[in-house]
Chains A and B, each alone.
Chain A
Amino acid sequence: MLEGRKVRLRAVERVDLPSFVKWINDPEVTQFLELNPPMSMEDEEKWFVNLQKDHDKVFSIDTKDGKLIGNVGLMRLNWKDRCVLIGIMIGKKEYWDQGYGTDAIETLLRHIFDELGLNRVYLIADERNARAIHCYEKLGFKREGLLRQNRYKNGVYTNDVEMSLLRGEWEERRSRP
């Protein structure tokens, strides 16, 4: 369990899967995410079983009073180059815009830099997803590139922004009062 200020991150359990399926199939939740609904419960169970073997590591996000509100994951973990791709979904919409996602990512970053000893964390956001990009910028992520027409969704190609945070930047931010 990784403790944050507002949330805690824990392993994904089988009982979480129905919530994940519900969120993934909610167009408002996945509007800007790299997920391809519709997804069935069976699809999700296959994903869960593979999770145990994969290099990807996904955590469920609980509020401090134990409500499941989303998940956050490490992907393409590369030990040689010491970098990792992260992604997040806050599925419970009533928890949007209150800092839960920010705290979940900050908790994950602490784990990535202080425990796993990685050097670079990067992520990809839909250019139109202003709320997410604002959150990443608050955490110190810098825009490093525009992936032109990187995704095809709802009939149009859309641009993605790639952002990253380096170990040095993380340490500098933390040493500030």
Chain B
Amino acid sequence: MGLRPLESKDSWLLHKWFNDQRVLEDLGAQHISFCTSMDREFQIVDEMMTNRSKRYFMIQSLEGGRDVGLIGLDKIDLRNASAELQIIIGDVECWGKGFGGEAICVLLDHAFSRMNLHRVYLRVADYNDRAITCYKACGFQAEGRLRHDHFHKGAYRDALVMSILKEEFRRAFDA
């Protein structure tokens, strides 16, 4: 798979993914309604492309060029060389095939080797075991628990913060 820069025409696909409850289920209730209109999706994509503290890519399968997900760095803080990783595999048929892990490695290489960041962190719902396993395999360490971070399925749920530092990535990458 490879990463390519986000384009406004991707709004159609993102609209589909961000209205799919299976995709949103484990994201930790960041959406108020699980529903986004096409007009709103175009605004969001425009913001993702123009805001300089964001850098988003589409994850593309190299076999057939199918778009399978979205990955990016958000809240990019150049002063402190840190950013937050965001990822979804929107194409549910492509779950469990290793696209996420591979995309994260490519993005981390970009973050550390090209953008010269020092730290990449992420937030994950603590019941999203599949994602946590993947992040750990990519070298992320859990560094904190956000207790009762969000409300989902009738109760307050915890989230974890995980991070990886440049030297940790280098060590793993070289090995």
State how many residues of chain B have any CB contact under 8 Å with chain A. Answer: 19
The residue from B36, B43, B151 contacting A11, defined by CB atoms under 8 A apart:
B36
The closest CB in chain A to the CB of B43 belongs to A52
Instruction: Note all chain B residues with C-beta closer than 8 A to A1.
Output: 19-21, 34-35
The residue from A2, A14, A113 contacting B35, defined by CB atoms under 8 A apart:
A2
Contact residues, A1-22 vs B (CB, 8 A): 1-3, 9-14
The closest CB in chain A to the CB of B37 belongs to A11
Q: Helix, strand, loop or mixed for chain B's interface?
A: loop
Cα distance, A59 to B36, chains bound together (Å): 10
Instruction: Note all chain A residues with C-beta closer than 8 A to B151.
Output: 115-117
Contact A2 B34 (CB under 8 A): yes
Q: Helix, strand, loop or mixed for chain A's interface?
A: mixed
State how many residues of chain A have any CB contact under 8 Å with chain B. Answer: 19
Contact B153 A3 (CB under 8 A): no
Rounded to whole Å, the gap between the CB of A92 and the closest CB of chain B is: 20
The closest CB in chain A to the CB of B152 belongs to A115
Instruction: Note all chain A residues with C-beta closer than 8 A to B21.
Output: 1-3
Contact A113 B32 (CB under 8 A): no
The closest CB in chain B to the CB of A48 belongs to B39
Instruction: Note all chain A residues with C-beta closer than 8 A to B34.
Output: 1-2, 111, 115
The closest CB in chain A to the CB of B40 belongs to A52
Report if A57 contacts B (CB, 8 A): yes
Rounded to whole Å, the gap between the CB of B28 and the closest CB of chain A is: 12
Contact residues, B29-51 vs A (CB, 8 A): 29, 32-40, 43
Report if A114 contacts B (CB, 8 A): yes
Interface string of B65-88 (1 = CB under 8 A from A): 000000000000000000000000
Rounded to whole Å, the gap between the CB of A169 and the closest CB of chain B is: 14
Contact B33 A111 (CB under 8 A): yes
Rounded to whole Å, the gap between the CB of B156 and the closest CB of chain A is: 8
Of A1, A14, A57, chain B has the most CB atoms within 10 Å of the CB of A1
The residue from A9, A10, A59, A114 contacting B154, defined by CB atoms under 8 A apart:
A114
Contact residues, B1-39 vs A (CB, 8 A): 19-21, 29, 32-39
Rounded to whole Å, the gap between the CB of B161 and the closest CB of chain A is: 22
Instruction: Note all chain B residues with C-beta closer than 8 A to A114.
Output: 152-154
A residues at B contact (CB < 8 Å): 1-3, 9-14, 48, 52, 57, 59, 111, 113-117
* Pairs across A and B, CB under 8 Å, 26 listed: A1-B20, A1-B21, A1-B35, A2-B21, A2-B33, A2-B35, A3-B21, A10-B35, A11-B19, A11-B35, A11-B37, A11-B40, A12-B37, A13-B37, A13-B38, A14-B39, A52-B39, A52-B40, A57-B32, A59-B35, A111-B34, A115-B29, A115-B34, A115-B152, A116-B32, A117-B156
Closest 8 CB pairs of A and B: A11-B37, A117-B151, A11-B35, A114-B154, A1-B19, A13-B37, A10-B35, A11-B36
